[in-house]
Amino acid sequence: MKRRDFIKQAGIGAVATTSVAAPAIVSADTKIKWKMVTTWPKNFPVLGTGANQLAKLITQLTDGRIKVKVYGAGELIPAFEVFDAVSRGTAQMGHGSAYYWKGKIEEAQFFSTVPFGMNAQEMNAWLYFGGGMELWKESYEPFGLIPAAAGNTTVQMAGWFNKEINSANDLKGLKMRIPGLGGEVLKRAGGIPVNLPGGELFTSLKTGAIDATEWVGPYNDLAFGLYKAAKYYYYPGWHEPGTTLEAIINKQAFEALPGDLKAIVENACKVVNQDMSLEFAAKNNAALDTLVNKHKVDVRKLPDDVLAKLKALSHEVVSDLAAKNASAQKIYDSYNKFYKQISAWHEISEKIYFNVR
Protein backbone atom coordinates (compact mmCIF):
# COMPACT_ATOMS: atom_id res chain seq x y z
CA MET A 1 0.00 0.00 0.00
CA LYS A 2 2.86 2.36 0.86
CA ARG A 3 4.46 1.50 -2.48
CA ARG A 4 1.20 2.29 -4.33
CA ASP A 5 0.84 5.58 -2.45
CA PHE A 6 4.41 6.53 -3.35
CA ILE A 7 3.88 5.74 -7.05
CA LYS A 8 0.56 7.62 -7.05
CA GLN A 9 2.16 10.69 -5.45
CA ALA A 10 5.10 10.51 -7.82
CA GLY A 11 2.71 10.32 -10.78
CA ILE A 12 0.82 13.38 -9.60
CA GLY A 13 4.09 15.25 -9.26
CA ALA A 14 5.15 14.25 -12.75
CA VAL A 15 1.86 15.43 -14.22
CA ALA A 16 2.08 18.73 -12.36
CA THR A 17 5.63 19.30 -13.57
CA THR A 18 4.65 18.58 -17.14
CA SER A 19 1.65 20.94 -17.04
CA VAL A 20 3.80 23.85 -15.82
CA ALA A 21 6.35 23.36 -18.59
CA ALA A 22 3.78 23.07 -21.38
CA PRO A 23 2.57 26.23 -23.17
CA ALA A 24 -0.72 27.54 -21.83
CA ILE A 25 -2.83 27.47 -25.00
CA VAL A 26 -6.32 28.82 -24.44
CA SER A 27 -9.30 26.67 -25.40
CA ALA A 28 -11.73 27.58 -28.19
CA ASP A 29 -14.43 28.81 -25.79
CA THR A 30 -12.15 30.83 -23.50
CA LYS A 31 -12.90 34.57 -23.29
CA ILE A 32 -9.69 36.60 -23.33
CA LYS A 33 -9.41 40.19 -22.12
CA TRP A 34 -6.54 42.28 -23.43
CA LYS A 35 -5.48 45.82 -22.63
CA MET A 36 -4.05 48.06 -25.35
CA VAL A 37 -2.07 51.11 -24.23
CA THR A 38 -1.23 53.86 -26.72
CA THR A 39 1.03 56.86 -27.10
CA TRP A 40 -1.88 58.92 -28.48
CA PRO A 41 -4.52 61.01 -26.72
CA LYS A 42 -7.76 59.07 -26.22
CA ASN A 43 -9.88 58.98 -29.39
CA PHE A 44 -7.55 61.35 -31.24
CA PRO A 45 -8.45 61.40 -34.96
CA VAL A 46 -6.78 58.69 -37.07
CA LEU A 47 -3.96 57.88 -34.62
CA GLY A 48 -6.12 57.24 -31.57
CA THR A 49 -9.12 56.08 -33.55
CA GLY A 50 -6.83 53.79 -35.53
CA ALA A 51 -5.90 52.04 -32.29
CA ASN A 52 -9.62 51.88 -31.47
CA GLN A 53 -10.32 50.34 -34.86
CA LEU A 54 -7.66 47.69 -34.30
CA ALA A 55 -9.18 46.75 -30.95
CA LYS A 56 -12.68 46.67 -32.46
CA LEU A 57 -11.57 44.51 -35.39
CA ILE A 58 -9.89 41.95 -33.16
CA THR A 59 -12.97 41.78 -30.93
CA GLN A 60 -15.39 41.47 -33.86
CA LEU A 61 -13.37 39.02 -35.96
CA THR A 62 -12.82 36.72 -32.99
CA ASP A 63 -16.55 36.88 -32.20
CA GLY A 64 -15.70 38.22 -28.74
CA ARG A 65 -13.20 35.49 -27.89
CA ILE A 66 -10.67 38.32 -27.50
CA LYS A 67 -11.96 41.60 -26.11
CA VAL A 68 -9.50 44.47 -26.34
CA LYS A 69 -9.89 47.61 -24.22
CA VAL A 70 -7.96 50.69 -25.35
CA TYR A 71 -6.29 53.14 -22.96
CA GLY A 72 -5.14 56.49 -24.32
CA ALA A 73 -1.91 58.16 -23.26
CA GLY A 74 -1.97 58.90 -19.54
CA GLU A 75 -5.06 56.83 -18.75
CA LEU A 76 -3.23 53.73 -17.54
CA ILE A 77 0.41 54.69 -18.13
CA PRO A 78 2.27 57.71 -19.56
CA ALA A 79 2.62 57.87 -23.36
CA PHE A 80 6.29 56.94 -23.52
CA GLU A 81 6.00 53.93 -21.21
CA VAL A 82 4.00 51.83 -23.68
CA PHE A 83 6.97 49.68 -24.71
CA ASP A 84 7.86 48.75 -21.13
CA ALA A 85 4.25 48.12 -20.13
CA VAL A 86 3.69 45.61 -22.93
CA SER A 87 7.10 44.04 -22.42
CA ARG A 88 6.41 43.28 -18.77
CA GLY A 89 2.80 42.19 -19.44
CA THR A 90 0.98 45.08 -17.76
CA ALA A 91 -0.84 45.33 -21.09
CA GLN A 92 -1.00 42.75 -23.86
CA MET A 93 -0.82 45.27 -26.72
CA GLY A 94 0.49 48.74 -27.42
CA HIS A 95 0.16 51.24 -30.25
CA GLY A 96 2.78 53.85 -31.07
CA SER A 97 5.84 54.19 -33.31
CA ALA A 98 9.28 52.63 -33.07
CA TYR A 99 11.23 55.88 -32.87
CA TYR A 100 9.79 56.48 -29.41
CA TRP A 101 11.89 53.60 -28.10
CA LYS A 102 15.26 54.73 -29.44
CA GLY A 103 16.61 54.82 -25.89
CA LYS A 104 16.15 51.05 -25.74
CA ILE A 105 16.71 49.98 -29.36
CA GLU A 106 18.28 52.82 -31.31
CA GLU A 107 18.19 50.96 -34.62
CA ALA A 108 14.42 50.43 -34.24
CA GLN A 109 14.03 53.92 -35.72
CA PHE A 110 14.56 52.37 -39.16
CA PHE A 111 11.18 50.64 -38.73
CA SER A 112 9.45 53.96 -38.07
CA THR A 113 10.80 56.47 -40.60
CA VAL A 114 14.05 57.73 -42.08
CA PRO A 115 14.51 61.38 -43.11
CA PHE A 116 14.44 61.69 -46.91
CA GLY A 117 13.79 57.94 -46.96
CA MET A 118 10.96 55.70 -48.11
CA ASN A 119 7.32 56.75 -48.26
CA ALA A 120 4.36 54.74 -46.95
CA GLN A 121 4.02 52.50 -50.00
CA GLU A 122 7.75 51.79 -50.06
CA MET A 123 7.96 51.14 -46.32
CA ASN A 124 5.13 48.62 -46.49
CA ALA A 125 6.75 46.91 -49.47
CA TRP A 126 10.03 46.58 -47.54
CA LEU A 127 8.36 45.34 -44.38
CA TYR A 128 6.07 42.77 -46.01
CA PHE A 129 8.13 41.67 -49.00
CA GLY A 130 11.69 42.93 -48.50
CA GLY A 131 12.70 41.29 -45.23
CA GLY A 132 12.02 44.28 -42.99
CA MET A 133 9.44 42.55 -40.82
CA GLU A 134 11.76 39.68 -40.00
CA LEU A 135 14.46 42.12 -38.89
CA TRP A 136 11.92 44.06 -36.83
CA LYS A 137 10.80 40.93 -35.00
CA GLU A 138 14.42 40.00 -34.39
CA SER A 139 15.07 43.41 -32.80
CA TYR A 140 12.12 43.12 -30.40
CA GLU A 141 12.65 39.46 -29.51
CA PRO A 142 14.88 40.15 -26.45
CA PHE A 143 12.09 42.25 -24.94
CA GLY A 144 9.42 39.58 -25.28
CA LEU A 145 7.56 41.60 -27.91
CA ILE A 146 6.16 40.99 -31.38
CA PRO A 147 5.85 44.07 -33.63
CA ALA A 148 3.39 44.63 -36.47
CA ALA A 149 2.83 47.54 -38.83
CA ALA A 150 -0.48 49.13 -37.81
CA GLY A 151 -0.80 52.45 -39.58
CA ASN A 152 1.12 55.00 -41.62
CA THR A 153 0.89 58.79 -41.63
CA THR A 154 2.05 59.11 -45.27
CA VAL A 155 4.24 62.16 -46.04
CA GLN A 156 3.95 64.66 -43.23
CA MET A 157 4.27 68.44 -43.04
CA ALA A 158 7.52 69.97 -41.82
CA GLY A 159 5.65 71.55 -38.93
CA TRP A 160 4.39 74.66 -37.18
CA PHE A 161 6.82 77.50 -36.50
CA ASN A 162 6.73 80.77 -34.62
CA LYS A 163 9.94 81.79 -36.35
CA GLU A 164 10.49 82.22 -40.07
CA ILE A 165 12.94 79.83 -41.72
CA ASN A 166 14.69 81.70 -44.52
CA SER A 167 18.07 79.99 -44.37
CA ALA A 168 19.86 77.14 -42.60
CA ASN A 169 21.12 79.66 -40.05
CA ASP A 170 17.55 80.07 -38.79
CA LEU A 171 17.65 76.48 -37.53
CA LYS A 172 20.37 77.35 -35.02
CA GLY A 173 18.97 77.59 -31.51
CA LEU A 174 15.50 76.57 -32.73
CA LYS A 175 13.75 74.66 -29.96
CA MET A 176 11.49 72.19 -31.72
CA ARG A 177 9.47 69.14 -30.79
CA ILE A 178 10.73 66.57 -33.27
CA PRO A 179 11.35 62.88 -32.42
CA GLY A 180 13.50 60.16 -33.92
CA LEU A 181 16.22 60.59 -36.50
CA GLY A 182 14.75 63.92 -37.56
CA GLY A 183 15.50 65.26 -34.10
CA GLU A 184 19.15 64.21 -34.40
CA VAL A 185 19.37 65.94 -37.79
CA LEU A 186 17.99 69.16 -36.30
CA LYS A 187 20.51 68.89 -33.48
CA ARG A 188 23.39 68.69 -35.96
CA ALA A 189 21.96 71.72 -37.74
CA GLY A 190 22.29 73.65 -34.47
CA GLY A 191 18.72 73.26 -33.26
CA ILE A 192 17.41 71.88 -29.98
CA PRO A 193 15.18 68.83 -30.43
CA VAL A 194 12.57 68.14 -27.75
CA ASN A 195 10.54 64.95 -27.41
CA LEU A 196 7.01 65.61 -26.15
CA PRO A 197 3.85 63.49 -26.29
CA GLY A 198 1.08 64.80 -28.52
CA GLY A 199 -1.07 65.97 -25.63
CA GLU A 200 1.53 68.57 -24.62
CA LEU A 201 2.21 70.15 -28.02
CA PHE A 202 -0.37 72.93 -28.11
CA THR A 203 0.41 74.35 -24.68
CA SER A 204 4.17 74.11 -25.20
CA LEU A 205 3.95 75.94 -28.53
CA LYS A 206 1.46 78.52 -27.28
CA THR A 207 3.48 79.42 -24.19
CA GLY A 208 6.79 79.63 -26.02
CA ALA A 209 8.30 76.61 -24.28
CA ILE A 210 9.16 75.50 -27.81
CA ASP A 211 9.57 77.54 -31.00
CA ALA A 212 8.19 74.92 -33.35
CA THR A 213 6.64 71.50 -33.50
CA GLU A 214 6.00 68.86 -36.09
CA TRP A 215 3.03 66.59 -35.60
CA VAL A 216 1.57 64.83 -38.63
CA GLY A 217 -0.30 66.68 -41.35
CA PRO A 218 -3.31 68.96 -41.94
CA TYR A 219 -6.04 66.56 -40.79
CA ASN A 220 -4.43 65.77 -37.43
CA ASP A 221 -2.96 69.24 -36.97
CA LEU A 222 -6.34 70.90 -37.51
CA ALA A 223 -7.87 68.64 -34.85
CA PHE A 224 -5.16 69.70 -32.40
CA GLY A 225 -5.81 73.39 -33.11
CA LEU A 226 -2.13 74.02 -33.73
CA TYR A 227 -3.01 76.92 -36.05
CA LYS A 228 -3.96 78.84 -32.89
CA ALA A 229 -0.45 78.49 -31.49
CA ALA A 230 1.90 79.15 -34.42
CA LYS A 231 2.21 81.59 -37.34
CA TYR A 232 3.81 79.53 -40.08
CA TYR A 233 3.07 76.06 -41.47
CA TYR A 234 6.02 74.65 -43.41
CA TYR A 235 6.33 71.76 -45.87
CA PRO A 236 7.55 69.20 -46.96
CA GLY A 237 7.89 66.65 -44.16
CA TRP A 238 11.52 65.78 -44.92
CA HIS A 239 11.90 64.16 -41.52
CA GLU A 240 8.91 61.77 -41.79
CA PRO A 241 8.16 60.81 -45.41
CA GLY A 242 6.08 57.77 -44.46
CA THR A 243 5.99 57.02 -40.76
CA THR A 244 5.01 53.47 -39.85
CA LEU A 245 2.92 53.14 -36.71
CA GLU A 246 3.18 49.90 -34.83
CA ALA A 247 1.21 47.49 -32.76
CA ILE A 248 3.42 45.76 -30.22
CA ILE A 249 2.16 42.53 -28.74
CA ASN A 250 3.33 40.74 -25.63
CA LYS A 251 4.89 37.56 -26.99
CA GLN A 252 3.74 35.30 -24.15
CA ALA A 253 0.14 36.49 -24.52
CA PHE A 254 0.28 36.04 -28.30
CA GLU A 255 1.77 32.55 -28.20
CA ALA A 256 -0.93 31.41 -25.77
CA LEU A 257 -3.52 31.99 -28.51
CA PRO A 258 -4.72 29.19 -30.79
CA GLY A 259 -3.73 29.45 -34.44
CA ASP A 260 -6.95 31.04 -35.70
CA LEU A 261 -6.79 33.88 -33.17
CA LYS A 262 -3.13 34.52 -33.95
CA ALA A 263 -4.03 34.88 -37.62
CA ILE A 264 -6.86 37.28 -36.80
CA VAL A 265 -4.62 39.52 -34.67
CA GLU A 266 -1.94 39.62 -37.37
CA ASN A 267 -4.36 40.38 -40.19
CA ALA A 268 -6.31 42.95 -38.18
CA CYS A 269 -3.02 44.88 -37.90
CA LYS A 270 -2.64 44.74 -41.69
CA VAL A 271 -6.16 46.10 -42.22
CA VAL A 272 -5.55 49.03 -39.89
CA ASN A 273 -2.15 49.64 -41.45
CA GLN A 274 -3.79 50.12 -44.84
CA ASP A 275 -6.87 51.99 -43.64
CA MET A 276 -4.94 54.63 -41.74
CA SER A 277 -2.82 55.71 -44.71
CA LEU A 278 -5.93 55.83 -46.89
CA GLU A 279 -7.79 57.98 -44.36
CA PHE A 280 -4.95 60.48 -44.25
CA ALA A 281 -4.83 60.57 -48.06
CA ALA A 282 -8.58 61.15 -48.22
CA LYS A 283 -8.81 63.89 -45.59
CA ASN A 284 -5.56 65.87 -45.56
CA ASN A 285 -6.33 68.24 -48.43
CA ALA A 286 -9.80 69.18 -47.16
CA ALA A 287 -8.22 69.98 -43.79
CA LEU A 288 -5.48 72.01 -45.49
CA ASP A 289 -8.16 73.97 -47.35
CA THR A 290 -9.83 74.76 -44.01
CA LEU A 291 -6.54 75.86 -42.48
CA VAL A 292 -5.73 78.17 -45.39
CA ASN A 293 -9.13 79.61 -46.29
CA LYS A 294 -10.91 79.64 -42.93
CA HIS A 295 -8.07 80.12 -40.45
CA LYS A 296 -5.74 82.06 -42.78
CA VAL A 297 -2.72 79.87 -42.05
CA ASP A 298 0.53 80.99 -43.71
CA VAL A 299 1.69 77.85 -45.57
CA ARG A 300 5.29 77.97 -46.79
CA LYS A 301 7.81 75.70 -48.47
CA LEU A 302 11.15 75.31 -46.74
CA PRO A 303 13.87 77.03 -48.79
CA ASP A 304 15.88 74.76 -51.09
CA ASP A 305 19.17 75.48 -49.31
CA VAL A 306 17.58 74.48 -45.98
CA LEU A 307 16.36 71.19 -47.45
CA ALA A 308 19.77 70.55 -49.00
CA LYS A 309 21.46 71.12 -45.65
CA LEU A 310 19.02 68.84 -43.83
CA LYS A 311 19.44 66.14 -46.47
CA ALA A 312 23.22 66.16 -46.16
CA LEU A 313 23.00 65.96 -42.38
CA SER A 314 20.42 63.15 -42.64
CA HIS A 315 22.86 60.99 -44.58
CA GLU A 316 25.44 61.56 -41.83
CA VAL A 317 22.98 60.68 -39.05
CA VAL A 318 21.76 57.50 -40.71
CA SER A 319 25.29 56.35 -41.58
CA ASP A 320 26.47 56.96 -38.01
CA LEU A 321 23.53 55.00 -36.62
CA ALA A 322 24.26 52.07 -38.95
CA ALA A 323 27.86 51.97 -37.77
CA LYS A 324 26.97 51.67 -34.08
CA ASN A 325 26.47 47.90 -33.94
CA ALA A 326 26.03 44.81 -36.08
CA SER A 327 22.25 44.80 -35.73
CA ALA A 328 21.94 48.41 -36.87
CA GLN A 329 24.21 47.75 -39.84
CA LYS A 330 22.20 44.68 -40.84
CA ILE A 331 18.92 46.62 -40.76
CA TYR A 332 20.40 49.60 -42.58
CA ASP A 333 21.87 47.41 -45.32
CA SER A 334 18.47 45.80 -45.90
CA TYR A 335 16.67 49.16 -45.84
CA ASN A 336 19.18 50.86 -48.13
CA LYS A 337 19.27 48.04 -50.67
CA PHE A 338 15.48 48.02 -50.93
CA TYR A 339 15.36 51.82 -51.06
CA LYS A 340 17.68 51.90 -54.06
CA GLN A 341 15.76 49.18 -55.88
CA ILE A 342 12.31 50.65 -55.39
CA SER A 343 13.52 54.20 -56.07
CA ALA A 344 14.90 53.08 -59.44
CA TRP A 345 11.51 51.62 -60.35
CA HIS A 346 9.60 54.67 -59.13
CA GLU A 347 11.75 56.94 -61.29
CA ILE A 348 10.03 55.53 -64.37
CA SER A 349 6.67 54.76 -62.76
CA GLU A 350 5.27 56.79 -59.86
CA LYS A 351 7.51 59.84 -60.20
CA ILE A 352 7.21 60.28 -63.95
CA TYR A 353 3.50 59.72 -63.78
CA PHE A 354 3.03 62.44 -61.17
CA ASN A 355 5.03 64.79 -63.37
CA VAL A 356 3.02 64.18 -66.53
CA ARG A 357 -0.53 63.69 -65.30
Q: What would the pLDDT profile of 250-293 be if each residue is shown by its tens digit?
A: 999 999 999 999 999 999 999 999 999 999 999 999 999 999 99
C-beta of residue 334 within 8 angstroms of C-beta of residue 132: yes
pLDDT in tens, 170-199: 999 999 999 999 999 999 999 999 999 988
Confidence of residue 28 (pLDDT cuts 50, 70, 90): low
Rounded to an integer, what distance in angstroms lies between the CA atom of residue 195 and that of residue 201? 10
Q: Whole-prediction pTM value?
A: 0.90
* pLDDT of 12: 34
pLDDT at 56 over 90: yes
pLDDT band for position 51 (50/70/90)? very high
DSSP state at residue 14? H
Spell out the long-range contacts of 144-147 with Cβ–Cβ below 8 A and sequence spacing 24 or more. Answer: 144/87, 144/250, 144/251, 144/252, 145/83, 145/86, 145/87, 145/248, 145/249, 145/250, 145/251, 146/248, 146/249, 146/250, 146/251, 146/254, 147/98, 147/111, 147/246, 147/247, 147/248, 147/249
Residue 5, pLDDT above cutoff 50? no
Model pLDDT for residues 119-139, shown as the tens digit of each residue = 999 999 999 999 999 999 999
Asked if the model's pLDDT at residue 334 lies above 50, the reply is yes
The pLDDT value recorded for residue 27 is 60
Distance CA 269, CA 51 (A): 10
Q: Which residues contact 300 (CB under 8 A, 6 or more apart)?
A: 165, 232, 233, 234, 235
Strands 159-161 and 298-301: unpaired
Confidence of residue 2 (pLDDT cuts 50, 70, 90): very low
With bands split at pLDDT 50, 70 and 90, how would you rate the model's confidence at 15? Answer: very low
State the pLDDT at residue 190: 98
